[in-house]
Structure 1
Amino acid sequence: MYVPPAFREEDITALHGTMRDARLANLVTATAEGLIATPLPLFLAPDEGPYGTLYGHLARANGQWKLPPMGDAMALFMGPDAYVSPAWYPSKQEHGKVVPTWNYIAVHAYGPAEFFEDSDRLLQVVTRLTNLHEGPRPEPWAVTDAPESFIRAQLRGIVGLRLPITRLEGKRKMSQNRSAEDRAGVAAGLAASDRPSDRATAALIPT
C-alpha cells in the first residue's frame, strides 16, 4: 500500500481499533493459480504475538484454504471513507487549483495463513465471533442456544483460519495535507451529507 508520510498510521492501538471496527475483512492469498480473496468476519487476539493474531473461518467448499499460499497472506480492513469535493475548499475561490480526492482509513495485516479443521478449535472461534457480534444486542443469541448435535454438524462445513500478524500497514488519509481552512470546509461538507459513512468521516478530520 502506498502510504505518504503525512498519512502514515503507526500507532498499534489505532490500527487495532480500525481492525475491530471494520467487522468484515478481505483475506487475500497468492497461490499457484493466482490471487484469491474471501470476505471474512475476523476477530483479533491482540496479545498473541507482537502485532496480534487474527482468527476466522471459511466454508469448507471454498478452495482458498486448499491452495498453499505463496508467501504471507494479507487481511485488508477498511475504516470510514468518503468522496471529497473540491467545492468544499475555500482555496478553490482563491486560485481554483483543486481537484477531487477520497478520504479513507485502511489497515493491511500480513502473516502466514494457518488453516485448521479441529472441531474443538473451530467451536472456540465460532463462539468468540458470535459473542463479539451478538454482545451489543439486547437479547444476544449464543451458540449454546442451538442443539449441540446441530452445531457439530455445522462445524463440519467450515475450516478455521489463524493468521499471526508479522507486519501491519496503516493509512489514515483525512485531508492532513490541506490547510486548516480547507480541512474545516471538508468536515462541514461531509457532516451535511445524508450518507452515514460521510458523517463518520467528517468526525475524523483534524480541524
Structure 2
Amino acid sequence: MAKQIEMDVAPREVFGKKTKSLRRQGLIPGNIGGHKADSVAIQFEAKVFKRLQHENRAGSIYALNLPGKGAETVLVHHVEHNTVSGEIQHVDFSRVSMDEQVSIKVPLHFVGESPALKDTKGTLLHMDALEVQCRASDILPAIEVDLSPLKTLDDTIYARDIKLPKGFKLVGDPEESVAKVAPPKVELPEAEAAEAAAEAAPAAESESTASE
C-alpha cells in the first residue's frame, strides 16, 4: 500500500493579499478540496512542506492532520510559485480515497545499459515521469524503464513499450517518446571553426545592409 506522509496543518483565517503576512511568518496558505465536500482553508509550515517534498516523490499521498477534524487523505493538486523568487505561494490539495482510481504522474527510473549510448557517447533524451491511472493505494515511487533496447540511434522507447504493473493503465499518447539517444555534438577543429565564422560574417553583414 502507498505510504502516507503525515503533516500538521491549521485552519486559515487570512485570505487574498493578506496571505503575504503568513508567508513572512514562514507559513504557506493552502486549500483542501474535492469529493464534493466544502473547501477547507489551511496554513502550514513552509520548511516542513519543503522538506517532505524533497524527501518524497511527486504524487505522494499526504495525511493532513487538522485540529478537531482528524486527518484528511489528499494528493498535492497544484503548487503555485512566485515567478521571480521561485518561493511557494500557495498549495491546493485534493481529497482522495485509497481505493479510488487516480491519474498521476509517476517518476521514471532508468535501468540497464543502452548499447547506443555506450558506443556513440551520445546524450540520453528522456521523459522524467509517465502519467498513469491506478488505485491510490497502489501508487508507486517510480516505474522502471529498461534502456537495453536502445541499440542504435534509430531506436526509441515509446510509452506503449513500458511494462506497467497489474492494475495500471497508461494515460496519454502511447506513441509518445519516452527515451532515445541523440548523437554526440560534433565540435569543429579550431581552424575549421574560424573559417566557418569568417564565411558567415560577410553574409550576416550583407543581410544587415539590405535591411537598412
- Specify the TM-score bucket, using the shorter chain as the normaliser: under 0.3
Q: Which has the larger radius of gyration?
A: 2
Structure possessing the higher relative contact order (Cα contacts under 8 Å, 6 or more residues apart):
1
User: Which one has the bigger strand percentage?
Assistant: 2
TM-score (norm 2): 0.19
TM-score (norm 1): 0.19
User: Which one has the bigger helix percentage?
Assistant: 1
